[in-house]
Amino acid sequence: MRLATIRVDGGDTRAVRADGDRLVDLGFGDLGELFGHDDWQTVAATATGPAHPLQDADFAPVVLRPSKVVFVGLNYKSHIEEMGRDLPQHPVLFAKFADTLVGADDDVVKPAETDQMDWECELAVVIGKRVRRATGPDAEAAIAGFSVVNDFTMRDYQYRTREWLQGKVWEATTPVGPYVVTPDELPGTVRPTLSTRLTVDGVTKQTANTADLLFDPVDLVEYISTIVSLNPGDIISTGTNGGVGHARTPPEFLWGGETVVTTIEGIGTLTTHIVKDPAR
């Protein structure tokens, strides 16, 4: 199934299932609310609610208020090498906040405070079942599906200290969507093998395949759920591959006016227009 959260008239949001050129209302405000039900797969597959035209869809973040947004750094060999680091023995984790998330086609404002806004194409894992210390089949069963993320990063803020958080959590700078695609729809299922691509103004900057992840989605669910419970709707973003602007010679950054297109095979595309902060 291909599931999404869309904005509708009056400022409301609805969880929907893609059905041809229609989006069928599932009876919930967002996918996080849907995934909170034990039988969400059956509900999503059989719902016959009102239909919204796909061509008019205004995609919200797939989950509006996840209890956790966990990102992984240094998870593709190509990115590790371009950043001049050793291969990690354990996943490199950092957290984001729900306030960072925006929809698949929303504009992203370049903060006036940064001169080093960078792009990062990533595969996201969305949790569909509460788990703690999950291993093997339990970790696999906790994965509701996969989505697309762009982890826009302010490199000058990221490297002010040894901790990355301040470069990663700028408000409304992390698009996620447009869909959550269930594992049965993808080659490799819970360990999907999908091509990824990111372009800036039509020029390809990043390409990879998710089969090359050092720590795959099941590994990450196992590792993170050892530390803290993962709840329905939580998001894990699995890291980016080589081709980021910071590692180029000379470095390349976003200044406002660009269009960044982030695509993962079988899931969908984020189309992000970078705009300058109108208040500054």
Q: Is the Cβ–Cβ distance between 240 and 205 less than 8 Å?
A: no
- DSSP summary character for residue 88: P
User: What per-residue confidence (pLDDT) applies to 260?
Assistant: 98
What is the enclosing helix (H) or strand (E) of 79? helix 77-82
Residue 32 pLDDT: 98
Interatomic CA distance for residues 102 and 104, integer angstroms: 7
pLDDT per residue as tens digits for the range 10-67:
789 999 999 999 999 999 999 999 999 999 999 999 999 999 999 999 999 999 999 9
Please provide the average confidence, as pLDDT, over all residues in the chain.
Answer: 96
CB atoms within 10 A of CB 258: 19
Q: How far is CA 246 from the centre of its chain?
A: 20
Q: What is the pLDDT of residue 203?
A: 98
Task: Single out the residue of 246, 259, 126, 239 nearest to residue 198, CA to CA.
Answer: 259
Could you tell me if 24 and 70 are in contact, meaning their C-beta atoms sit under 8 angstroms apart? Answer: no
Indicate whether 280 pLDDT > 70.
no
CB-neighbour burial class of residue 133 (10 A; exposed 0-12, middle 13-18, buried 19+): exposed
Q: Is the pLDDT of residue 142 over 80?
A: yes
**Both tokens assigned to 174:** 């992390």
Give the whole-angstrom CA distance, residue 19 versus residue 235. Answer: 24
Residue 240 has pLDDT above 90, yes or no: yes
Kind and range of the H or E run holding 205 = strand 203-209
Residue 130, φ and ψ in degrees, nearest 5:
-65, 130
The CA distance from 91 to 190, in Å, is: 18
Q: Would you state the pLDDT for residue 84? A: 79
The span from the CA of 149 to the CA of 63, in Å, is 12
Place of tokens 């000058």: 156
In the chain, what is the greatest distance between 2 CA atoms, to the nearest angstrom? 53
pLDDT band at 9 (very low <50, low <70, confident <90, very high): confident
219 confidence band (pLDDT: 50, 70, 90): very high
In whole angstroms, how large is the CA radius of gyration of the chain?
18
Can you tell me the mean pLDDT for 70-93? Answer: 87
**For the whole model, what pTM was predicted?**
0.96
Q: Can you give the pLDDT at residue 82?
A: 77
pLDDT digits (tens, 9 = 90+) for 165-190: 999 999 999 999 999 999 999 999 99
Query: What is the predicted pLDDT for the residue at 278?
Result: 76
Residue 6 CA to residue 13 CA, distance in Å, equals 5
